[in-house]
Amino acid sequence: MSIHIEYVQQASTIFFQLLRRKMIPNQDHLLTAFFEQDEVREALKVMADEAGVMIVQAPSHVHLVARAEGSVFATSFTQMRKRYTDIESKKYFYLMNVILLVFLAEVDVEAARRMRAETNGVSYYQLEKQVHAVLMRWKQEQLVSATAFSANWGIAIEEIAELWETMAVDDDSDKEGRLIGTRKTHIGLIHMAIRTIRDENLVYISEDEKRIIPRNELYERMEAIYHQQDRYQAMKAAIAQAFTTTEETEDNPNAAY
């Protein structure tokens, strides 16, 4: 089926605005043709498929999201390294992904806890403790399972856990309130990781308080995309299990593994 050039032009305008802005509010006049014309939506879908991205319609916004594989706009290790020069190796890249997963698991909760997260946010130091607990628990599971944990999850847990353990929690600049993205400290690396989703307008960072405030756009994206992915749900459950086991161990230090 051929699509009239007028619809292609309208779809192109929306597509390139989505590339620039990552998401557009539903009430934006730019999306009028998208909601009113089937042909515009079809043309936009063709462009998205060719570029390896998804157009996601959520309650308040239309999002553009790169597919995990086959997208010309996917964020690769090479691209991240250009943006954040402190990322020396893929181990830092993978560690940042674990940080983001732990953060998402913390805020992707039932309505009452979500309201607290939206109001109070998640502190950098709270997130640091949670990431540490998850990595140490997973490292222990890796040792007990004779490397099966990494094989099952596709995570080089020993390498990234050991990297995490070589880093200080923070330094003088962190303690003085100056947040700097750096691979040298836990807080610095957390800041680097969270900045990647702040740049997508998914969270707000209160640098004075060292807190991350999830935006509604983040919940829209989680609902539309992540909640449909079996791997995300499995990783979220594994993180929750690591939290639970750590709390039980702290309550009963003599408990067996």
The pLDDT, as a whole number, for residue 256 is 44
pLDDT digits (tens, 9 = 90+) for 207-236: 888 899 999 999 998 988 888 888 889 999
The pLDDT, as a whole number, for residue 229 is 84
CB 146 within 8 A of CB 152: no
Instruction: Return the minimum-mean-pLDDT range out of 38-47, 53-62, 100-109, 140-149.
Output: 140-149
The pLDDT, as a whole number, for residue 115 is 74
The pLDDT, as a whole number, for residue 257 is 43
Rounded to 5°, angle at Cα 137 from 132 and 140: 125
- Report whether pLDDT(170) > 90: no
- What SS3 class is residue 23? strand
Q: What is the mean pLDDT of the chain?
A: 84
Q: What is the mean pLDDT of residues 112-126?
A: 81
The sign one gets for the Cα dihedral 64, 68, 71, 75 is: positive
- Report whether pLDDT(166) > 90: yes
The pLDDT, as a whole number, for residue 174 is 53
Q: To the nearest whole percent, how much of the chain has pLDDT over 70? A: 82
pLDDT digits (tens, 9 = 90+) for 23-67: 999 999 999 999 999 999 999 999 998 888 889 999 999 999 877
The pLDDT, as a whole number, for residue 77 is 62
The pLDDT, as a whole number, for residue 15 is 94
Cα(52)–Cα(107) distance, rounded to whole angstroms?
28
The pLDDT, as a whole number, for residue 53 is 86
248: confidence class by pLDDT, cuts 50, 70, 90: low
Q: What is the mean pLDDT of residues 178-189?
A: 81
Q: Which domains does the chain have, with CATH numbers?
A: 5-66 (1.10.10), 77-251 (no CATH)
Q: To the nearest whole percent, how much of the chain has pLDDT over 90? A: 44
Contacts of 100 (CB under 8 A, 6+ apart): 193, 194, 196, 197
Contacts of 236 (CB under 8 A, 6+ apart): 101, 104, 105, 108
